[in-house]
Amino acid sequence: MKHVWKVLALTLVLSLGVYIAERRKSESQAFVTRNSYGEGTKTEEYRLSIPGVMEEEAFEFDIEEQEYTEKEIQKVFRQVMDKLDELVPGENESFNRIEKDLNLVTEVEGYPVQIQWQMDTYTAIDLSGKIACVDLGFAGDIVRCTGAGRWFLSKCRFRFSYKTY
């Protein structure tokens, strides 16, 4: 029975805290702040007491990081695609003439998106972006490269075609 009172008291205090936070609409102790996108879950301790019912006791809560809305993550995916247009060609002038290794990054700094790559053929360039063969008759071939981007349950595809020389 004592445990039930603690849970009820905690629920009441947390509900009151959320209510006060919503009413104030300002930064204060009433707010529980989350880590930013990609920073992970944090654990916080809150102390609670109810005079005459419960002495002060500590409670720990896991607070999840901020999450993107579907619209926000689609915007992030577009930004990642723009960055990949710059990063993936590496030292090559463009995707139209690949003479040096590609830069097949698995993440883009500042974005919480993980990327896995695949090619429609691995005879010219391998998954690490290294040119796999030289002068084996593949010069001028157009190869499709697909990056599968992922952030939690959201997914997208980044597609590039390149020409080897």
Structure tokens at 73: 């993550």
Mean per-residue pLDDT, 85-114: 90
Amino acid residing at 90: G
- 67-85: per-residue pLDDT in tens? 888 899 999 999 999 999 9
Q: Three-state DSSP class for 60?
A: strand
With pLDDT > 70 as the criterion, what percentage of the chain qualifies?
A: 84
pLDDT: is 152 or 92 the higher one? 92
pLDDT for 28 equals 44
pLDDT: is 37 or 111 the higher one? 111
pLDDT for 115 equals 94
pLDDT for 25 equals 46
- 23-80: per-residue pLDDT in tens? 554 444 557 788 887 788 898 888 877 788 888 888 888 888 888 888 999 999 999 9
CA angle 78, 84, 89 (to 5 degrees): 150
Domain ranges of the chain: 2-63, 70-163
Per-residue pLDDT at 135 exceeds 60: no
CA distance 35 to 33: 7
Per-residue pLDDT at 130 exceeds 50: yes
pLDDT: is 23 or 100 the higher one? 100
> What secondary structure letter does DSSP report for 13?
H
Question: Sorting pLDDT into bands at 50, 70 and 90, what band is 91?
Answer: very high
pLDDT: is 121 or 105 the higher one? 105
Average pLDDT along the chain: 81
